[in-house]
């Protein structure tokens, strides 16, 4: 079987969310393809498509597999998208790849494929339809231009990363339930509990970022949907009401997204501004140590299609607090404390409970380590391959 993959999301400078998802799945497809348990006639050929007006080849994954080929076009993205969607619906990407049996789009994007090509798209979330107020005008314009309701009708199969996303696809886009498959994401094996907390690597990360002994961690993009203003306010309440937590700090890690002005305004005006540390993007290796060093991981998002960070934190043995909204209950099960993200006193109380109750913290740690066993990229990749095969 020849499988085409839209690799444009793999051109991001730093991977997170969708780009991380596309990379991990594609990497697992290729590894499974070269497993000793696969006979030569069971192997697939993969064709990756990239496009950019700029030379971004240095960002691309350096996969070395004989069953993998790539095609890179150098058309400025605005022109390329206009050609695909608004005018001549050309070029046909599957034709550029020399023909494929199945084409997989890991994310919504402007796309033109020939009629005979079988098509699959992954939908991660529909937050831009549920909560357009959380996005910038530019982002909302892009979402309207791509017209996801029309886009999904072009595909033979739609993969949702959670039951919540499937429900949204049915309700908001009118997609038939039998056209949607739910495939849960995996988690990288590098996220694990570090037994030796005083290792040289741990000390290095702790000193590099000047981390205190006790801190509450948030890791994710900096944008309104993540409820970071609420987190800062809940942390301030925690410090106001409890003298026992004078040494506890808040560490917020992630790249700036959109509409961040109010978030940083809240931080600058906070009485505890010096107790709140913002870090920019950190790589996966350092993320592992940050999770392990944290006393609590807090992810009070208003909406998630899936939500990798709570799983990553649990894999590192860190107690997790997250929202009971959208897909997050599916992800964490009973292995985290779930709160209403609009009820800030409940978030403060949850943080206090974990900091003061060692039994509770240990229970959450053990449940989290068990919960993450349900999620693997190999399992997800095998489910995808079954779906690809059913459409050939």
Q: Do domains 2-186+376-391 and 200-374 have the same CATH topology?
A: yes
Q: Measured on CA atoms in the order 317, 30, 12, 55, is the torsion positive or negative? A: positive
Q: What is the domain partition of the chain in residue ranges? A: 2-186+376-391, 200-374
- pLDDT, residue 86, reads 55
Q: How far apart are CA 217 and CA 290, in angstroms?
A: 8
Domain 200-374 matching CATH 3.40.640.10: the answer reads no
Please write the tens of the pLDDT for every residue from 276-312.
999 988 988 899 999 999 999 999 999 998 889 999 9
Considering the four listed CATH numbers 3.40.1710.10, 3.40.50.2000, 3.30.450.150, 2.60.40.10, the one that applies to the domain covering 2-186+376-391 is 3.40.50.2000
Please write the tens of the pLDDT for every residue from 51-92.
888 878 888 888 989 999 999 888 887 777 767 665 556 788
What 3 state SS string does the chain have? CEEEEECHHHHCCCCCCHHHHHHHHHHHHHHHHCCCCCCHHHCCEEEEEEECCCCCHHHCCCCCCCCEEEEEECCCHHHHHHHHHCCCCCCCHHHHCCCCCEEEECCCCCCCCCCCCEEEEEECCCHHHHCHHHCCHHHHHHHHHHCHHHHHHHCCEEEECCHHHHHHHHHHHCCCHHHEEECCCCCCCCCCCCCCCCCHHHHHHHHHCCCCCCEEEEECCECHHHCHHHHHHHHHHHHHHCHHHCCCEEEEECCECCCCHHHHHHHHHCCCHHHEEEECCCCHHHHHHHHHHCCEEEECCCCCCCCHHHHHHHHCCCCEEEECCCCHHHHHCCCCEEECCCCHHHHHHHHHHHHHCHHHHHHHHHHHHHHHHHCCHHHHHHHHHHHHHHHC
- pLDDT, residue 249, reads 97
* Tens-level pLDDT at each residue, the chain (392 residues): 999 999 999 988 878 788 999 999 999 999 999 887 776 677 899 999 998 888 788 888 889 899 999 998 888 877 777 676 655 567 889 999 999 999 999 998 888 888 889 999 999 999 888 888 888 888 888 888 888 888 898 899 999 999 999 999 999 999 999 999 999 999 989 999 987 666 888 889 999 999 999 999 999 999 999 999 999 999 999 999 988 999 999 999 998 888 889 999 999 999 999 999 999 889 888 999 999 999 999 999 999 988 899 999 999 999 999 999 899 999 999 999 999 999 999 999 999 999 999 999 999 999 999 999 999 999 999 999 999 999 86
pTM: 0.88
Inter-residue contact 228 to 254 (CB < 8 Å): no
Q: How far apart are CA 321 and CA 230, in angstroms?
A: 13
């Amino acid at each position: 079987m020849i499988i085409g993959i839209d690799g444009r999301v793999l051109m991001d400078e730093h991977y997170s969310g969708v780009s991380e998802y596309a990379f991990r799945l594609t990497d697992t497809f290729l590894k499974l393809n070269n497993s000793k348990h696969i006979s030569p006639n069971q192997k697939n050929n993969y064709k990756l498509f990239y496009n950019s007006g700029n030379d971004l080849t240095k960002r691309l994954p350096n996969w070395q597999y004989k069953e993998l080929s790539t095609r890179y076009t150098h058309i400025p993205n605005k022109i390329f998208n206009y050609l695909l969607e608004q005018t001549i619906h050309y070029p046909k990407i599957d034709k550029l790849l020399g023909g494929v049996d199945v084409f997989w789009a890991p994310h919504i994007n402007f796309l033109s494929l020939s009629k005979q090509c079988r098509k699959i798209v992954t939908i991660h979330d529909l937050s831009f339809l549920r909560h357009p107020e959380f996005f910038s005008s530019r982002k909302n314009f892009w979402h309207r231009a791509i017209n996801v309701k029309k886009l999904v009708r072009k595909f033979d199969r739609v993969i949702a990363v959670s039951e919540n996303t499937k429900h949204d696809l049915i309700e908001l886009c009118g997609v038939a339930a039998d056209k949607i498959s739910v495939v849960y994401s995996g988690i990288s094996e590098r996220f694990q509990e570090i037994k030796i907390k005083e290792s040289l690597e741990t000390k290095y990360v702790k000193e590099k970022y000047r981390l205190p002994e006790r801190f509450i961690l948030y890791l994710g993009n900096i944008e309104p949907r993540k409820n970071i203003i609420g987190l800062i306010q809940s942390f301030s309440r925690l410090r106001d009401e409890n003298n026992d937590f004078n040494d506890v700090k808040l560490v917020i890690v992630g790249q700036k997204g959109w509409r961040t002005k109010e978030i940083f305004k809240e931080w600058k005006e906070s009485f505890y501004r010096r107790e709140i540390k913002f870090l920019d993007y950190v790589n996966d290796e350092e993320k592992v140590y940050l999770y392990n060093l944290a006393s609590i991981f807090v992810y009070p998002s208003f909406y998630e299609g899936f939500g990798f960070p709570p799983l990553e934190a649990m894999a590192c043995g860190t107690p997790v607090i997250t929202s009971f909204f959208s897909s997050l209950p599916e992800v964490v099960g009973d292995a985290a404390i779930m709160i209403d993200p609009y009820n800030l006193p409940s978030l403060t109380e949850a943080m206090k409970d974990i900091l003061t109750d060692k039994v509770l913290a240990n229970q959450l740690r053990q449940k989290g380590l068990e919960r993450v066993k349900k999620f693997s990229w190999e399992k997800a990749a095998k489910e995808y391959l079954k779906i690809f095969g059913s459409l050939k």
